[in-house]
Structure 1
Amino acid sequence: MKYIYNLAFKMSISATIALVIANLFNVQYATVAAVIAILSIQDTKKKALIVGRNRVVACIIAIFLSIGIFKILGQNPITFAIFLLIFIPLTSKFNIAEGMVPAVVLSTHLLIAGELNSYWIINELLITFIGVGIASIANLFMPSLRSEFNEDKEYIEKSYKIILYKMANSLVSYTVDIDEEIIMNELENRLTEAVNRAYKIASNNLLNTDSYYIDYMNMRKIQFDIIKKLRSHFEKFYMSFEQTFMISKFTKSVASQIKDTNDCLDLLEELEVLKEDFKQMALPKTREEFENRAQLLQFLNDMEDLLRIKRNFILNYSSENKRDKFTIKS
């Protein structure tokens, strides 16, 4: 049944049905209804609703504006130009540009028609409502994309674990894995796709205003930017200290606990203990030592940002009871 969600399939079926129905009503220029149906097929329900509404409004305005102008000034190229000079700015003003082209086509029907009467008004309205109406029904069939979202989430969390484990090892070895850059590039591309999918999921829920999918992916995207900052510190690490091994161990701890249900409270508490321990340690003896220790501290601060982003996300959905997809760990 997946073919029912395919845009090309929906376009072809909608156009065919629109043409058949238009012919059943003996509509003149029935093929235009088929074209409008094709143009009205969209990839999300909300977008389809907006485009369909704008197309209907634009077509209605065009029909009655055309009749008014053509009846008063006649049906000729000059009056058609006058119509366009008035109509096109109106579509921009009322933000209904999606309906401009089909509406202009309807206007050309009236331009070359004989006597302008109620028959032509009904004819053009039928073209509009049949085309948009059939497309609107087809647009109800949209893939949920929730399984793809879960796959994206699993991929992202797994990738974050791998990257952080690699960082933990790099802290004490001063080496960066060759494949780390490849993982980062693939992850960045997947995040972009995942964010787009999240917006599609939200746009397909007409009655549900829950923004969980978008918020989750945006949270992970912000974390990715922080991970890039964490990686940038390795350009300045060239000395090892006791703190280095402690931060490496903590980084592995963070990596092992990356999952959607983790509220990061334990990790943040562990991080605070780590900072307090650092304060009790001997001060650096040289400038190079001071610079490297300062860089380590900045690495730890960025790690704290990484954790707080996730904790704020969890607390937001917990406090507002927006979703029952996860339970905050105790």
Structure 2
Amino acid sequence: MSIIRDKKRLKRICIKSLKIGFGSCLAIAIAHFFNLKYEISAGTIALLTILTTKWETIRLSAYRIVMFFVTVLVGWLVHNFIGGGWPEYGICLLIIVFLCEITGWTSTLSVNSVIGAHFFTEGDFSPEFIINEFILLLIGISIAIVLSFFSSNRSYKKMILKHMEYVEDKMHGILSHIASYLRNEPMPGSVWADINQLEDKIKEFIQDASEYNDNTFSDNPKYYIEYFEMRLLQIDELHSLHYEMRRMRSMPVLAEVVAEFLDFMAGCIGKMEMLDVQLDNLHEILSHLKKEAPPTTTEEFESRAILYHVLMDIEDFLLIKKRFVDNLELKHRNETFIKA
């Protein structure tokens, strides 16, 4: 998985490098065609605006436009009331940096400083020069936005779907191993290590899902983020479940029934339906446990108490998924209502 991930990272770096190189050259060529002053700055603006995702690029472009007019206003005030030398440029930058910090728009600072330098170098705040600088900005951010749409969303979605299959397959295996433990059967490998490894992978998958979310305009792109977050919560329950089971010194009579239920759960791990059936079956097992004859030894009492906690962990595991599914259904109903 790490080798595959490194290849994907290298692919992203190559694509971003090509976008920046091509986009910067194209921006400079367009600025040159319109005979603009400081034409090379259009390429610099494109370079500084091309980001990893569509939404980041669009947001940054909008911030740059707003801060352009702020920079022009601040520069004009400093130039007219203080002077137009390099010390005054420093004062202008001081004000711009302060405004960027309090608005959280520090990512716009690099372009603001370039534009500010042009104004103080020329000492010109005429409408013609302001338009010249604004067109440079528009060329740079337009190229960045257009290039941000050239992203392999389809392959990215396929990758995320494979991540989902991977998680479900691993969870299936973990639940099956825990069922084997309840039957006193030998377990291949370490369940604890498997759970920890899967937890790390899910955290990586959440990052991938977040990047996909920022690169798509689909109706419900956050589904994948919420899905992996749901699985991460279930991992916490698996940790608790495994910890409880390791404390068992003997297997209660109902251990085989619980093992069969875990096998049933493992078979349903990739399904979004049948949760009510699983919960009903679990509640039946809990009812049988309560009706059993009282334990006769301390060891039997402890094991039965631990089994009860195991069943509670299983219930929490299922309820996490149920909340996720119910939330999806609620969103779907709301969207249908709004569209109607």
Instruction: Provide TM-score, normalisation by structure 1.
Output: 0.89
Q: Could you tell me whether the CA contact under 8 Å between 1:7 and 1:43 is conserved in 2? A: yes
Aligned residue in 1 for 2:208: 197
Q: Could you tell me whether the CA contact under 8 Å between 1:174 and 1:237 is conserved in 2? A: no
Greater displacement, 88-97 / 272-281: 88-97
Amino acid at match of 1:36: I
Structure 1 distance, partners of 2:185, 2:212, is 42
From the superposition, tell whether residues 201 and 116 of structure 1 become closer, same or farther in structure 2 (CA, over 3 Å). closer
Tell me which of 16, 19, 22 is aligned to 1:10: 19
- Structure 1 stretches of 4+ with a deviation exceeding 6 A read 2-5
Shift of 1:306: 0.9
Greater displacement, 206-215 / 129-138: 206-215
Shift of 1:134: 0.7
Tell me which of 258, 267, 273 is aligned to 1:262: 273
Aligned length: 323
- Find out whether 1:118 has 2:127 as its counterpart: yes
Greater displacement, 3-12 / 89-98: 3-12
Aligned residue in 2 for 1:328: none
Matches for 1:170-181 after TM superposition, within 5 Å: 170-173=181-184, 177-181=188-192
From the superposition, tell whether residues 201 and 5 of structure 1 become closer, same or farther in structure 2 (CA, over 3 Å). farther
Amino acid at match of 1:134: I
Matches for 1:70-219 after TM superposition, within 5 Å: 70-144=79-153, 145-173=156-184, 177-206=188-217, 208-209=219-220, 211-219=222-230
Tell me which of 287, 309, 317 is aligned to 1:298: 309
Amino acid at match of 1:131: G
Indicate the SS of the match to 2:150: coil
Structure 1 distance, partners of 2:267, 2:124, is 77
Structure 1 distance, partners of 2:227, 2:333, is 13
Amino acid at match of 2:99: L
Greater displacement, 204-213 / 14-23: 204-213
Aligned residue in 2 for 1:251: 262
Q: Could you tell me whether the CA contact under 8 Å between 2:252 and 2:303 is conserved in 1? A: no
Structure 2 distance, partners of 1:45, 1:213, is 17
Shift of 1:209: 4.9
Shift of 1:180: 3.1
Identical aligned pairs, as a percentage?
26
Aligned residue in 1 for 2:5: none
Amino acid at match of 2:148: N
Amino acid at match of 1:51: L
- Find out whether 1:289 has 2:300 as its counterpart: yes
CA RMSD of aligned residues (A): 2.5
Aligned residue in 1 for 2:7: none
Structure 1 distance, partners of 2:180, 2:45, is 59
Amino acid at match of 1:215: E
Aligned residue in 1 for 2:47: 38
Amino acid at match of 2:36: V
Amino acid at match of 2:51: Q
Greater displacement, 15-24 / 63-72: 63-72
Structure 2 distance, partners of 1:199, 1:114, is 45
Q: Could you tell me whether the CA contact under 8 Å between 2:160 and 2:205 is conserved in 1? A: yes
- Structure 2 alignment gaps of length 5 or more: 1-10, 336-340
Structure 2 distance, partners of 1:212, 1:301, is 27
Q: Could you tell me whether the CA contact under 8 Å between 1:41 and 1:136 is conserved in 2? A: yes
Structure 1 distance, partners of 2:158, 2:18, is 22
Aligned residue in 2 for 1:56: 65
Amino acid at match of 1:183: D
Structure 2 distance, partners of 1:3, 1:211, is 22
Amino acid at match of 1:123: N
From the superposition, tell whether residues 8 and 214 of structure 1 become closer, same or farther in structure 2 (CA, over 3 Å). same
Shift of 1:263: 3.5
- Structure 1 alignment gaps of length 5 or more: 325-330
Q: Could you tell me whether the CA contact under 8 Å between 1:62 and 1:103 is conserved in 2? A: yes
Indicate the SS of the match to 1:262: coil
Greater displacement, 100-109 / 197-206: 197-206
Structure 2 distance, partners of 1:91, 1:122, is 23
Q: Could you tell me whether the CA contact under 8 Å between 1:57 and 1:96 is conserved in 2? A: no
Q: Could you tell me whether the CA contact under 8 Å between 2:249 and 2:299 is conserved in 1? A: no
From the superposition, tell whether residues 51 and 267 of structure 1 become closer, same or farther in structure 2 (CA, over 3 Å). same
Structure 1 distance, partners of 2:332, 2:125, is 59
Aligned residue in 2 for 1:223: 234
Indicate the SS of the match to 2:30: helix
From the superposition, tell whether residues 115 and 54 of structure 1 become closer, same or farther in structure 2 (CA, over 3 Å). closer
Aligned residue in 2 for 1:237: 248
Q: Could you tell me whether the CA contact under 8 Å between 2:49 and 2:141 is conserved in 1? A: yes
Q: Could you tell me whether the CA contact under 8 Å between 1:264 and 1:311 is conserved in 2? A: yes
Aligned residue in 1 for 2:4: none
